Amino acid sequence: MLQVSKIAEHKDEYIKALKKRNFDASDIFEKVLELDETRRSTQAKLDDTLATSNKLSKEIGLMFKNGEHQKANMLKEKTGRLKEDSKELSEKLNVAVEELQNLLYTIPNIPHESVPAGKNEEDNEEVYKEGDIPVLAEGSLPHWELARKYDIIDFELGNKITGAGFPVYKGKGARLQRALITWFLDKAAEAGYTEYQLPLMVNEASGFGTGQLPDKEGQMYHVTGDDLYLIPTAEVPITNMFRDNLMTEKDFPVKCTGYTPCFRREAGSYGAHVRGLNRLHQFDKVEIVRLETPENSYAALDNMVDHVKGLLKELKLPYRILRLCGGDLGFTSALTFDFEVFSTAQDRWLEISSVSNFENFQANRLKLRYKDKDNRKELAHTLNGSALALPRVLAGILENYQTADGIKIPEVLVPYCGFDIID
């Protein structure tokens, strides 16, 4: 959430920057500043009214003590009117505060200066590519056919149990999935991230804290009976561990990781681009999250990008990195790099990770602050990244490692799997 003081200070600059997102902030900024002026003036009147009322109450007490009952009763009438005034001002203040907060929730983060302008994913900028795309033998199969052939993932059984988008992993498929999770967590631990086991449901305050709420696109599963939400990513519970915290500079950097299932109510559609593991309602992911001071957050972002690059290099999967354009940038992000692995069997790139710097956008919602060296309270910066999301990594391994004899297992995963081929 943007700070009102920063909007007032950088209004024209922010309006220009948000145009990269195809978001016209002119009218909404004017409304924000108008509501903030109403809030501040009403607060000042309320404070003055309460101060006057308190002063008169003390005078009334002295008058009664001194036997000046007539004067005291006249002042009591005045304090009665002041109480009515303060009640009206308090109600007006609450309305202004709520309207201002709700309006601020609708404004996306300011994109970093390096974010290219653009409307959608076609305008994203490729910044890096690594790995040779394997040449598959004639008749090579996409992962959903391989899953059926080797009986390692059962999409129909998941559909029977729950519905489309909830696959059942079986045998070596389940073991490969578990191996990936453990390896990702071990690599995160080697990089200095502390592992957490997390709740899979969060309350409304947590959803607002990291920007998933208000949920304009209906992406979150809502458990209405208890007013809880199934998490779309471990980012939400991890980052909310620090909600309302006041930290010190020596506490940074904070580096957390966690494995969780993730739940997303993706819009349904048809075609090869959403078949198999390409788009799911439930999937597994290992997340890395960092809290940083503002001056260190972009160096931390580079470090997180390098961490994901290292994972894909060890898996020997061909991949590329995209800098997202304004039109494809997530609501809360200032800068995002997407990783895509090349699926040779599908002849297309599949997104497998997003690494983002939110700057202080989430921290302002979370009230996550720290005391700097001059003992001033400042907002921290938050970052997160998928390291990695499993479905499309698994799809890439199945498709790119397939041979006439079976599906080979990447060398780094063999000790975790206990086998070197699926046949």
Please give the mean pLDDT across all residues of the chain.
94
Residue 202 has which token pair?
């969060």
| CATH node for 121-422 | 3.30.930.10
Name residues whose C-beta falls within 8 Å of residue 216's C-beta, 6 or more positions apart in sequence: none
Q: Residues 175-189: pLDDT tens digits?
A: 999 999 999 999 999
User: Residue 267: its pLDDT value, please?
Assistant: 52
Position 270 pLDDT exceeds 50: no
Is 175 flagged in the annotation as binding?
no
Residue 332 annotated as part of some ligand binding site: no
Q: How far is CA 263 from CA 103, 236, 369, in A?
A: 27, 12, 29
368-415 pLDDT, tens per residue?
999 999 999 999 999 999 999 999 999 999 999 999 999 999 999 999
**Annotated binding residue 264:** yes
Tens digits of per-residue pLDDT, 190-228?
Answer: 999 999 999 999 999 999 999 999 986 788 999 999 999
266 labelled ligand-binding? yes
Asked if the model's pLDDT at residue 273 lies above 70, the reply is no
pLDDT in tens, 87-141: 999 999 999 999 999 999 999 999 999 999 999 999 999 999 999 998 888 889 9
217 among annotated binding-site residues: no
99 is in an annotated binding site: no
pLDDT over 60 at 268, yes or no: no
Query: What CATH number labels 4-104?
Result: 1.10.287
Residue 352 in marked binding region: yes
Q: Is 265 annotated as a binding residue?
A: yes
Residue pLDDT, tens place only, 13-60 = 999 999 999 999 999 999 999 999 999 999 999 999 999 988 888 888
Q: Tell me, what's the pLDDT at 67? A: 81
Amino acid occupying residue 147 = A
| Token couple for 340 | 């895509």
The per-residue pLDDT for range 331-381, each reduced to its tens digit, is 999 999 999 999 988 999 999 999 999 999 999 999 999 999 999 999 999
Indicate the domain borders of the chain: 4-104, 121-422
> Is 292 annotated to bind ligand?
no
